[in-house]
Each structure stands twice: as structure tokens, then as C-alpha cells.
Amino acid sequence: MSKEGHFSDRMTARIQSIESRLVVGIDPRLDCLPDGIEADDPEQALTHLGVGVIEAVAGLAAAVKPQVAFFERWGWRGWKALETVCRSASEHGIPVILDAKRGDIGSTAEAYAEALLGDEPGTLGPYVDALTVNPYLGSDSLEPFFCRVRDGGRGVFVLARTSNPGGGEFQKRPGDEIPEEIIQVREAAPGSFLLIPGIGAQGGSIGDIAGAFDGQGLGALVNSSRGIVQAFEKQPDRPWQEVVQEAAKESRDALEGVIWA
């Protein structure tokens, strides 16, 4: 049940086929639901919203990025919904980048890798194409995840740099600035995809990220979460999936404009 080929190759094919570098982050909140989805059954609400977003963005998103925390927030019922959402994306042919930022050592890291990038029925693994991981415990802690890249056709995004106020405490050297850092990482890892979070609600501007792409407009994916998944809040009178689809299309087009400018 390993995925066929390399994650980067599958991603490149997907980007070229639907002409999109947009990743739609799925961060469902039960205090922000469209009309017709009730919060009283968390599993059902998370599933309904998550699957609904996937249907809406299926032709527009290079990948979807479910954020585990917003499912884990509701215990095992949330995890059950997360499995359904990842399976739905997989059935729609959309690559799933699971945002879990896991990191541990030895057999514990191996257990996370098996849970989230493995092939076991009854886990998320079979439906996940790539995983975000945290490198604080060092290179050897990432090895169980990298094994799934070499032998399982999966992708791993290693958390490098975040733009929050404390982001530089462990992640940067004095004087480093994010736009230049992106260009340095781009040069250091020419064959790899970079995952750039946060156009929209997280405050990143589209112009800042042009340096993440290579000459072919490849090698980077750009995430938007709340700007798409919560778009219905601003137009409560329209069908919510239509509004989400429109927001995804706008972000997709804006990104394509940067690439081909």
C-alpha cells in the first residue's frame, strides 16, 4: 500500500495538471460553522465541514493540509473525523499533507511514523501523502519519517522557520531575515518542495514568497487556511461551499499571478 513513485513527482504532476500551487489548510472550529452544520456532535460537525471543504476545493487545491490539533481537540471522536476527512481527500485524488509537527526519538518516533505515514488499515497512514515534523530532537529523530520517503513514496516537511514573535529563539541566527532565508533554503535544497504557510489570516504577503519557487514555478506550495475555510462567515446568505470555492479560486489565481509575473 506504499504510495507510488516519489511524493515530489506526484506533487509536480498535480500542480501542472490543475495549475495550482495552493494548499488549503483544514482547521475546523466548532465555534465557526456554516448554517446547516450543528456543533452538538463534534465528530459529525468536523466530518461534515471537512468533507464539505474538500468537495468545494477538489479542482483548485494542489493539496489539502488538515491540522491535527483542531481534530485532536475533540478527543478520539475528533480523530475518527480526521480519518474520514483524510480518506475523503484521498478518494478525490487530492494529496493530503498532514500538519502534525510530531517529533520524538527512537521507537516513539517510529510509532508516530507508522501511525501517520504507514500502511495499516484503521490508521490515518494510508490516506496521508506527507507529514510535517519538528526537528528539535535532532537528525536521528527524523530518520523513521525519512524511511517512509525513501521506501513508501511519502513526503516529509521539516519545520524550519516560523514568523511568530518567538520563532527566532531556536530557528535563526542573529541578523537572519525570512525573505532571504527562503532564498537560502531554496538554493540549499533545489530538489525539494517548500511549504510556505499563511497567506491571508497569518499575515504573509504573496510578494514575499516569490523567492520560494524555482525557475519553472515549482518547488513550493503556499498554504491558506482560515481565509478559505472560514470564508462563509463574510457571506452568510450564500451557500457556504460556493463561497469557500470562490475564496480558493481567488487565492489560487493570486498565487499563479505571482509565479508568472
Shortest distance, position 143 Cβ to a second copy, whole Å: 9
Shortest distance, position 211 Cβ to a second copy, whole Å: 22
Identify which of residues 60 and 109 has a Cβ nearer to a second copy in the complex: 109
Are 186 and 219 a contacting pair, CB within 8 Å?
yes
Catalytic-labelled residue, pool 80, 101, 172, 249 = 101
CA gap 46, 75 in Å, rounded: 12
Which residues contact a second copy by CB under 8 A? 27, 29, 42, 67, 69-70, 72-80, 82-83, 101-109, 111-112, 114-116, 120, 122-124, 134-141, 159, 162, 164-171
* Residue 130: φ, ψ to 5°: -155, 155
Shortest distance, position 116 Cβ to a second copy, whole Å: 8
CA gap 219, 212 in Å, rounded: 7
CA gap 53, 97 in Å, rounded: 15
CA gap 58, 74 in Å, rounded: 26
CA gap 176, 206 in Å, rounded: 20
Catalytic (active site) residue 172: no
Helix (H, G, I), strand (E, B) or coil at 28: coil
Identify which of residues 128 and 258 has a Cβ nearer to a second copy in the complex: 128
CA gap 228, 53 in Å, rounded: 9
* Distance (Å) of CA 239 to CA 52, 56, 159, 251: 11, 11, 36, 19
Nearest of 219, 216, 223, 215 to residue 255 by alpha carbon: 223
Identify which of residues 57 and 158 has a Cβ nearer to a second copy in the complex: 158
Identify which of residues 5 and 167 has a Cβ nearer to a second copy in the complex: 167
What are the catalytic residues?
101
